[in-house]
A and B are shown apart, each in its own frame.
Chain A
Amino acid sequence: QKEVEQNSGPLSVPEGAIASLNCTYSDRGSQSFFWYRQYSGKSPELIMSIYSNGDKEDGRFTAQLNKASQYVSLLIRDSQPSDSATYLCAVDTDKLIFGTGTRLQVFP
């Protein structure tokens, strides 16, 4: 069974720090990888997509992909309390497989 694994957290970081969120996946054939942010009671919001090995930066967010290690990560620089949410990793096999998410808490 194709799986996506994330540490459920919570991951607590102080305001201004770097938050590092990690995700591993089982299907070596996966080609597309996504990070969604989900606030409590709300729907998932796509924040990053990455398709090739290496880093992709968008503002304070950096996604990192290592297909050989089957590993995807999301770095959030200068974390803000408004970043406090659950971050879902999603991997496209023949359909989108979601992890259960990592809850991030950014404290002032």
Chain B
Amino acid sequence: DAMVIQNPRYQVTQFGKPVTLSCSQTLNHNVMYWYQQKSSQAPKLLFHYYDKDFNNEADTPDNFQSRRPNTSFCFLDIRSPGLGDAAMYLCATSSSGLHNEQFFGPGTRLTVL
């Protein structure tokens, strides 16, 4: 089945220790997104790739970076995680066109100690 895969599902890191989250997709979608979701809050868009073009949200901290080496994979790097970065990180994909239907992976739950 075509899907969006995220690894790891759970990540524990220490304050200030860099961490990388990964996302892969078999949907062949050209747009990939990273969202941050905290408890009882709406998903917050961090950035997205339209093909290879990177689009950063204005309020995304510099601590968050992303890479998309090919169509299928996308990575979220958190350079120096703080306690406030503990959240669920969601990867989503969509196919560019008239309607922006986005399909989410299972998410990575990040804990910062």
Partners in one complex: yes
| Residues of A29-70 whose CB lies within 8 A of B | 31-32, 34, 36, 41-46, 49, 51
Measured CB to CB, the closest approach of chain B to A52, in angstroms, equals 11
Beta-carbon contact of B42 and A49 below 8 Å: no
Among A36, A51, A96, A101: residue with most chain B CB under 10 A: A96
Whether A88 is near chain B, meaning CB under 8 Å from some CB there, is yes
When the two chains form the complex, which single residue of B40, B98, B101, B106 contacts A34, counting CB atoms closer than 8 Å? B101
Q: How far is the CA of A92 from the CA of B97 in the complex (A)?
A: 12
Beta-carbon contact of B102 and A96 below 8 Å: yes
- Contacts A95-B45, A100-B42; A43 near B107 (Cβ below 8 A): yes
Q: Supply 28 A–B pairs (Cβ within 8 Å), ascending by A.
A: A8-B40, A31-B99, A32-B98, A32-B99, A34-B101, A36-B104, A41-B109, A42-B106, A43-B88, A44-B104, A45-B104, A46-B104, A49-B99, A49-B101, A88-B42, A88-B43, A90-B102, A92-B99, A92-B100, A95-B48, A95-B100, A96-B45, A96-B100, A96-B102, A98-B43, A100-B40, A101-B40, A101-B42
